[in-house]
């Protein structure tokens, strides 16, 4: 049954205890329609933003907070300067969660994901990238992975940098 929410209609899990299906807004970033189970209103930078775009923001934040240009990785140039600029407002995962309190459950999984990441990012591309990130950078990108897994997001809906990381992550499960 079509609801109009892009993520409901493509069969994704939802942000806990939120009603799925009733479209409340258009994502300010990517213009998909999204319900309150798949988007949140950002009170500090007022806008309606979907879970897909949150993973892009977290990925960009992880790169910028790690001084991305010095990482010298193809993964840092695959993300657009516009997304990097948008994500650069978040220096830490805690800052991001202040704007998105409905994602507080991410903290329950972050330590486990950080441990697993050391074993899963082992290709010539993902390993040097991951180990070049700062501690906060790793946390921000781990949060993007947690969201992508929780909502079972398609790699093809994600920003290229995260798509490559997630491909490695999933192929080593
Ligand atoms: Zn939805
Ligand atoms: Zn969006």
Tell me, letter by letter, the H, E, C secondary structure of 132-150: HCCHHHHHHHHHHHHHHHH
In a domain, 157, yes or no: yes
pLDDT, position 72: 81
Q: Is residue 25 part of a domain?
A: no
Instruction: Starting from the CA of residue 83, give the closest ligand.
Output: 2
Q: Classify each residue of 71-104 as buried b or exposed e, where b means 16 or more C-beta atoms within 10 Å of its C-beta.
A: bebebbeebeeebbebbeebeebeebbebbebbe
Q: Alpha-carbon distance 151 to 16, whole Å?
A: 11
Q: Which ligand is nearest to the CA of 48?
A: 2
Residue 10 counted as domain residue: no
Using the 8-state DSSP alphabet, how is residue 42 labeled? E
Cα–Cα nearest to 87, from 46, 58, 66, 129: 58
Q: Answer whether residue 89 is part of any domain.
A: yes
pLDDT along the chain (173 residues), means of 10: 80 73 92 93 91 97 90 88 93 95 94 97 95 96 96 93 96 86
Quote the domain boundaries for residue 130. 51-171
User: From the CA of 4, how far away is ligand 2's center (Å)?
Assistant: 14
Q: How far is the CA of 118 from the centre of ligand 1 (A)?
A: 33
pTM score, whole prediction: 0.93
118 located within any domain: yes
Domains: count for the chain: 1
Per the domain annotation, does 107 fall within a domain? yes
């Amino acid at each position: 049954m079509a609801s109009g929410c892009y993520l409901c209609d493509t069969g994704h899990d939802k942000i806990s205890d939120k009603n799925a299906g009733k479209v409340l807004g258009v994502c300010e970033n990517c213009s998909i329609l999204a319900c309150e189970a798949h988007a949140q209103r950002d009170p500090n930078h007022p806008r309606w933003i979907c879970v897909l775009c949150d993973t892009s923001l977290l990925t960009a934040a992880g790169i910028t907070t790690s001084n991305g240009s010095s990482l010298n990785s193809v993964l840092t140039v695959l993300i657009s300067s516009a997304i990097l600029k948008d994500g650069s407002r978040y220096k830490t995962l805690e800052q991001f969660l202040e704007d998105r309190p409905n994602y507080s459950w991410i903290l329950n999984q972050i330590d486990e994901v950080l441990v697993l990441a050391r074993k899963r990012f082992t290709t010539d591309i993902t390993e040097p990238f991951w180990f070049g990130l700062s501690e906060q950078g790793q946390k921000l990108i781990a949060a993007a992975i947690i969201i992508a897994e929780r909502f079972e997001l398609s790699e093809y809906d994600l920003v290229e940098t995260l798509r490559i990381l997630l491909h490695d992550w999933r192929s080593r499960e």
